[in-house]
Homo-oligomer: A and B are copies of this chain.
Amino acid sequence: MSGRDGGTRPLAARNAGPSTSADVARLAGVSIGTVSHVVSGAKYVRPETRRRVERAINELQFEPNRVAQSLISRRTKTVGMVVPDIANPYFAELMRGAEDCLAEQDYAVLLGSSDHDPSKEHRYYTNLAGRRVDGLITAPSAAVTGADLSALRQFGPVVLVVETVAGWDGDAILGDDASAITQVVRHLAELGHRRIGMIGGNASLSSARRRESFFRASMADAGLTPVQITSGAYTVESGRAQAAVLLSRPDRPTAICAGNDLLALGALAEADRRGLRVPSELSVVGCDDIPYAELSRPPLTTVALLASEIGRRAARLVLDRLSGNDDGPSIELVDAELIVRGSTALALSTEVSKGR
Chain A residues with a Cβ under 8 A of chain B: 1-5, 17-18, 61, 63-68, 70-71, 74, 76, 78, 85-87, 89, 92-93, 95-96, 99-100, 103, 106, 108-113, 126-132, 151, 153-157, 236, 265, 268-269, 272, 291-292, 295-297, 308, 321-322, 324, 326
Contact = CB atoms under 8 A, between A and B. Distances in A.
A18 B99 contact: no
Nearest to A134: B1
Contacts of A269: 295
A211 B224 CA distance: 55
B87 A130 contact: no
A17 B96 contact: no
Contacts of A308: 87
Nearest to A126: B63
Given A1-B157, A17-B74, A113-B99, A131 B297 contact: no
A288 B289 CA distance: 23
B5 A154 contact: yes
7 contacts: A1-B322, A18-B155, A63-B126, A63-B130, A64-B130, A65-B132, A269-B295
Given A2-B154, A157-B1, A85 B76 contact: no
Nearest to A153: B4
Listed residue (A65, A67, A130, A268) with the most chain B CB atoms within 10 angstroms of its CB = A67
A130 B321 CA distance: 25
B112 A265 contact: no
A1 B92 contact: no
B3 A154 contact: yes
A71 B69 CA distance: 10
A110 B112 contact: no
A86 B86 contact: yes
Nearest to A297: B297
A128 B78 CA distance: 11
A296 B272 CA distance: 11
Contact of A67 (B64, B71, B155, B321): B71
Nearest to A151: B61
B67 A95 contact: no
Nearest to A290: B292
B68 A156 contact: no
A112 B322 CA distance: 21
A273 B129 CA distance: 51
Contact of A2 (B76, B99, B153, B296): B153
A242 to B, nearest CB: 16
Given A129-B63, A295-B236, A92 B99 contact: no
Nearest to A278: B297
A64 B268 CA distance: 50
Contact of A85 (B96, B112, B292): B96
Given A1-B321, A86-B86, A87-B92, A61 B108 contact: no
Contact of A131 (B108, B128, B156): B108
A68 B65 contact: no
B130 A65 contact: yes
B110 A109 contact: yes
Given A67-B132, A108-B127, A93 B103 contact: no
